[in-house]
Structure 1
Amino acid sequence: MSASLVLGIDGGGSKTLVAVGDREGEVVAFDAGPGINPMDKPGWRDALSALLSPFAALRPSIGAVVAGLPAYGEIAALSKAQEAEVRAFFGAVHQRVVNDVEAAHIGAFAGGPGVLVLSGTGSMAWASDAEGRMLRVGGFGEAIGDEGSAHWIGAAAIALASQAIDGRVEAPDFLRAFLDHLQLDRIAPQDALIAWRASVEHARSEIAALSRFVDARAEAGDPAAGGILDAAAAHLAAHVRAARQRIDDAALPWSTAGGTFSSRILSARTAALVGSRPEPPRLPPIGGALLRAAQDLDWPVDEAWIGRLAVSIENNAVHARNGRSDTLPEGEDDR
């Protein structure tokens, strides 16, 4: 068979998408599965293999694969393991493994220059100029940085609550809401908070989940929660400024990615500090992977192709959110 298809992978910490596109920019197969971040998902290999297995019948028609994987390029041993896992499934098919944020950047600017600032469980900015030179800002992980991320916001909420318990800061409304949110004892809050932290099984994701509590409190007018989001926005805006400075282009367009930016307050305050509104992404991260794979095959990608791909991905994503994968390869069950 001729190489009439391309396959993209958008791996993340909480979910992973796989999509197959054709020369016309239409998605012909699509599925979603669990996160495959090797930093905190020891079963990532099995999860990736299970997600790819329904696409085995399409391999003879696939000419190129681009896998955007979390943590790729950050730790040599893990990166080699990720490359090996992709190679084991696709064999001699042309394949490229990139960091998941790079794939998101390719999608956001349709392969053009810009700064993409991501805030999800972690945070990072990825930038490129018109000549294709790329650089990264942040992305050091929660033990070192990840400022402005959901985990950073959650950790800041815990720290603020602990200080309020001791009387080091005055934040009675925030503390009361925080204790109620976690169902902690108000009589002995110090012991209760320590016990809660010791009992957390998935610390990274559960601490990051507290960012939604902080956002809700900020929306309710809590100044303490608003202060946390102000600090997060300042960090994220600093990512954009640093990337522009290192690229040496103060007018480089910027865009956002990651669930933390679903916060209206965080998005608005970050934009205010950057000094301009972010550009809406041209394609989602899975679209960035498909676009790069199409370019690897020298397909005639134009604005119309990108537009069709964006619409097709959105239609398939709606099906996936509704629990249906109508475009799985024929004969395969939903996963």
Structure 2
Amino acid sequence: MTMDHRVTQIAVDGGQSALRLRVLPSGKTGTGPGYTHGPEALSKLLAAIGTAAAEAELDGPVDVVALGLTGYPQAPGAAERLAADVSQLLDADEVRLTQDMVTAHAGALPDGYGVVVAAGTGLVCLAVDRDGTWRKLDGHGYLFGDAGSAFAIGRAGLVAVQRARDGRGPATKLAETSLDPVTLYRSSTLVDDVARFAPEVLRCATEGDPVAHEVLVKAATDIADTIEAAVAQLAGEGPVPVACVGGLFTGAGEQLLAPVRAALPARAQLTPAAGNSLDGAERLATGPLGTYADLIVTYRR
């Protein structure tokens, strides 16, 4: 008697706030802790993948795992070693490992052409041309980049709080927060803590606070500048689909998208995202890599 072989793929979206895993074709899901910086980052990442796999009731060997990670290792050979470790952890024949900007792009623009801006705690942009050439913009981290991100908005809001309290800046509803920004210096999750103040900035802007509104406009301008630079990388003069994805855009909606749209060049056409980063990871796990092949480290045992 012949036994049927049930093909199993796994899609993983590893973000800063959480790690999400989807088993295919069952559709079962699991979650784990998000990425944290530090010397034990990769071991914690593997543990998070294991936690999510257990929650999704993964049982048996896996054919392909595709992962898009915020904490994609940059050191020479590190990505290959991580892919091998994931293969061992999940008993997987093949591991496809890439940055979260790639899975965000693959999920948002299934045709593979255009610009995707992924904004949450941080911000990164990926432009992919019709011939498969690509360009990454920003994603330089909270100290040197991530312009327009939730961290950038939160930080600007907290600076405004301190200026108002000192009398060095204009009065603002933001200063009504009970938070003392200086205490965040001691936090082991400083970046995430600062980013969590962004919704307060958005709320105060909605209520007509001019300082919060100025912070929002600055973020929108920064995002539009990044999109404009990305569109300029693509050949031709025709319209370019641009998708804005991630928790920041989900939470802010038109409050942020409207000023971004108003500041964009004519070629940039804001387009609703077809899916999210986990959907993008699923696409890379179940189909050909296509235009993303050069952006993916593949490990086969």
Asked if Structure 1 and Structure 2 have the same fold, meaning a TM-score greater than 0.5 normalized by the shorter chain, the answer is yes
Q: Is the 8 A contact 1:64 1:93 kept in 2?
A: yes
The structure that is helix-richer by fraction is 1
Superposition RMSD in Å: 2.5
SS of residue paired to 2:124 = strand
* Aligned match of 2:242: 254
Q: CA offset at residue 240 of structure 1?
A: 1.0
* Aligned match of 2:178: 182
Q: For 1:210-239, what per-residue CA distance to the aligned partner results, in whole angstroms no more than 9, with x for missing partners?
A: 101100000001111011011101111111
Q: Is the 8 A contact 2:60 2:91 kept in 1?
A: no
Alignment of 1:32-181 (within 5 A): 32-38=31-37, 42=41, 43-53=44-54, 54-59=56-61, 62-72=62-72, 74-76=74-76, 79-80=79-80, 82-91=82-91, 93-169=93-169, 171-172=170-171, 174=172, 177-181=173-177
Cα 1:266–1:287 change in 2 (3 A) is same
The aligned amino acid for 1:49 is G
Distance in 2 (alpha carbons) for counterparts of 1:40 and 1:265? 38
Q: 2:271 aligns with which of 279, 295, 310?
A: 279
Q: CA offset at residue 40 of structure 1?
A: 9.3
Q: 1:267 aligns with which of 239, 246, 257?
A: 257
SS of residue paired to 2:23 = strand
Q: For 1:4-25, what per-residue CA distance to the aligned partner results, in whole angstroms no more than 9, with x for missing partners?
A: 2321111111111111223xxx
Distance in 1 (alpha carbons) for counterparts of 2:159 and 2:31? 35
Q: Is the 8 A contact 1:116 1:256 kept in 2?
A: yes
Distance in 1 (alpha carbons) for counterparts of 2:206 and 2:82? 40
Distance in 1 (alpha carbons) for counterparts of 2:287 and 2:278? 14
Q: Is the 8 A contact 1:135 1:243 kept in 2?
A: yes
Q: Is the 8 A contact 1:64 1:297 kept in 2?
A: no
Distance in 2 (alpha carbons) for counterparts of 1:118 and 1:136? 11
* Aligned match of 1:320: none
* Aligned match of 1:216: 203
Q: CA offset at residue 146 of structure 1?
A: 0.9
Structure 1's unaligned 5+ residue stretches are: 185-192, 299-335
SS of residue paired to 2:240 = coil
The aligned amino acid for 1:33 is G
Q: TM-score, normalised to structure 2's length?
A: 0.83
Distance in 1 (alpha carbons) for counterparts of 2:247 and 2:76? 27
Q: 1:10 aligns with which of 10, 13, 30?
A: 13
SS of residue paired to 2:216 = helix
Q: TM-score, normalised to structure 1's length?
A: 0.75
Q: Is the 8 A contact 2:83 2:95 kept in 1?
A: no
Distance in 1 (alpha carbons) for counterparts of 2:145 and 2:278? 26
Distance in 2 (alpha carbons) for counterparts of 1:279 and 1:121? 22
Query: Identity, % of aligned pairs?
Result: 25
Q: 1:21 aligns with which of 20, 24, 39?
A: 24
What count of residue pairs does the alignment treat as equivalent? 279
SS of residue paired to 2:71 = coil
Distance in 2 (alpha carbons) for counterparts of 1:277 and 1:39? 39
